[in-house]
Structure 1
Amino acid sequence: MAQQEEEDGPVYTLDEALTSVGIGKFQYMVMCYAGLGHIAEAAETMILSFIGPALRSQWELSPTQESLMTTIVFAGMLVGAIFWGFVSDTYGRRKGLLSIAIVTALSAALSTFSPNYNWLLAVRMMVGFGVSGGPVYGSWFLEFVPSQNRGMWTIICTGFWTIGTILEALLALMIMPRLGWRWLLALSSMPSFAALLLFVFTVESPRYLCAVGRTKDACDILKKIAVVNKTQLPPRKLVSSQLTEELLSPGKIKVPNLKSGFSSLLMLLSPTLLRNTLLIWVVYIGNSFSYYGIILLTSLFSSGRCQHSSIALSMKDDQSLYTNVLINSFAEIPGTLLAAIMVEKVGRKLSMALTCALNFLFLLPLLTPELPALTTALLFGARTFISGSLVIVGVYCREIYPTSVRSTGIGVASSVGRIGAMLSPVVAVQLIRGCHQMAAIIAFEAVLVLSAASIMLFSLETKGRELIDTLVV
Structure 2
Amino acid sequence: MSDVEKQDGVEVGTKVDVSDDTSSTTAGRGEVLSLEDVDPALDAKMHLVNNVIDEIGWTPYHVKLFVLTGFGYAVDSLLLLLQSITSTQAVLEFQPSFSKGLTIASYVGLLVGALFWGMTSDIIGRRFAFNTSLLICSIFAIAAGASPNWEVLGLFVALSAFGGGGNLVMDTTVFLEFLPSKQQWLLTLLACWWGVGQLLAGLVAWPFLSDFACESAPTCTKANNMGWRYEWYTCGALVFVMSILRVTVIRLHETPKYLLGKGRDEEVVQGFRSLADKYGRPCSLTVEQLQACGVVNSEKGANAGKKGMRASIKELGAHLGGLFATRKMGLSTSLVWFSWTLIGLAYPLYNVFLPEYLKSRGAETGDGSNYTTWRNYAIVNACGIFGPVLAGFLCNWRVLGRRGTMVIGALVTMTFFFAYTQVRTSAQNLGFNCAISFCLNIYYGCLYAYTPEVLPSAHRATGNGIAVGCNRVMGILSAVVATVANTETVVPIWICAALYVVMAAVALAFPFEPYGKRSS
TM-score between the two structures when normalised by the length of structure 1: 0.86
Contiguous gaps of at least 5 residues in structure 2: 1-8, 15-47, 213-225, 306-314
Q: Deviations over 1:293-328 (max 9, x none)?
A: 454466546xx531xx14211352333322222121
Distance (whole Å) between structure 2 residues aligned to residue 226 and residue 168 of structure 1: 39
Residue 451 (structure 2) pairs with residue 394 (structure 1): no
Structure exhibiting the larger radius of gyration computed from Cα positions: 2
Is 1:82 the counterpart of 2:115? The answer is yes
Deviates more, 1:251-260 or 1:32-41: 251-260
Partners of 2:81 and 2:352 lie apart in 1 by: 12
CA apart distance, 1:415:
0.4
What does the per-residue CA deviation read over 1:5-26, in whole Å, with 9 as the maximum and x for residues that have no partner?
A: xx99885411111112211211
How far apart, CA to CA, are the structure 2 residues paired with 1:355 and 1:239? 46
The residue type paired with residue 444 of structure 1 is C
Equivalent in the alignment of 2:171: 137
* Counterpart in the other structure of 2:271: 221
Q: Distance in 1 between matches of 2:95 and 2:108?
A: 24
What is the match of residue 319 of structure 2? 264
User: Is residue 46 from structure 1 mapped to residue 70 from structure 2 by the alignment?
Assistant: no
AA partner of residue 341 (structure 1): F
Q: RMSD between aligned alpha carbons?
A: 2.8
Q: How does 1:151-166 map to 2 (within 5 A)?
A: 151=185, 153-166=186-199
Q: Distance in 1 between matches of 2:492 and 2:499?
A: 11
* Cα offsets for 1:323-345 (capped at 9, x unmatched): 22212112212311111111111
SS of 2:179 mapped into structure 1: coil
Q: Matches of 1:231 and 1:342 in 2, distance apart? A: 30
The structure-2 alpha-carbon separation of the partners of 1:172 and 1:298, relative to structure 1 and needing over 3 Å to count, comes to farther
In structure 2, how many angstroms separate the alpha carbons of the residues matched to 1:32 and 1:298?
A: 34
Alpha-carbon distance change, 228 to 41 in structure 1, aligned in 2, over 3 angstroms: farther
Instruction: Give the corresponding residue for 2:332.
Output: 276
Match of 1:149 among 183, 205, 216: 183
Q: Classify 1:25/1:369 alpha carbon distance in 2 versus 1 (closer, same or farther; 3 Å).
A: closer
* CA 370–229 in structure 1, closer or farther in 2 if over 3 Å, else same: farther
- Which residue of structure 2 aligns with residue 326 of structure 1? 378
Say whether the 8 Å CA contact 2:73–2:191 is kept in structure 1: yes
Residue 363 (1) aligns with residue 397 (2): no
Query: Any gaps of 5 or more consecutive residues in structure 1?
Result: 1-6, 469-473
Query: In structure 2, how many angstroms separate the alpha carbons of the residues matched to 1:10 and 1:267?
Result: 23
Q: Given the superposition, is the C-alpha separation of residues 109 and 433 from structure 1 closer, same or farther in structure 2, using an over 3 Å criterion?
A: same
1:344-355 → structure 2 map (5 Å cutoff):
344-345=396-397, 346-355=400-409
- The offset of 1:59, in angstroms, is 1.6
Q: Which amino acid aligns with 1:54?
A: Q
1:25-36 equivalent positions in 2, closer than 5 A: 25-36=60-71
What is the aligned partner in structure 1 of residue 501 from structure 2? Answer: 449
Q: Percent identity?
A: 20
Q: Is 1:415–2:469 an aligned residue pair?
A: yes
Query: Structure 1: how far apart are the matches of 2:139 and 2:501?
Result: 41
CA distance in 2, matches of 1:240, 1:261: 29
Instruction: Quote the offset at 1:208 in angstroms.
Output: 1.4
Look up the equivalent residue of 1:138 and give its one-letter code: T
For structure 1, which segment, 358-367 or 279-288, has the greater mean C-alpha deviation from structure 2 after superposition? 358-367
**How many residue pairs are counted as aligned between the two chains?**
447
For residue 356 of structure 1, report the CA deviation from its aligned partner.
0.9
| Counterpart amino acid of residue 282 in structure 1 | F
State the alpha-carbon separation in 1 of the partners of residues 287 and 404 from structure 2: 35
- In the TM superposition, 1:64-463 aligns within 5 A as 64=98, 66-134=99-167, 135-151=169-185, 153-176=186-209, 177-178=211-212, 180-198=227-245, 199-200=247-248, 201-234=251-284, 236-237=285-286, 257-258=301-302, 259=305, 260-272=315-327, 273-296=329-352, 299-300=355-356, 305-306=359-360, 309-345=361-397, 346-368=400-422, 370-425=424-479, 433-434=487-488, 436-437=489-490, 439-463=491-515
Return the offset for 1:393: 1.0
Deviation at 1:399? 0.8
Deviations 1:153-181 (A, max 9, x none): 11222211211110111011123324522
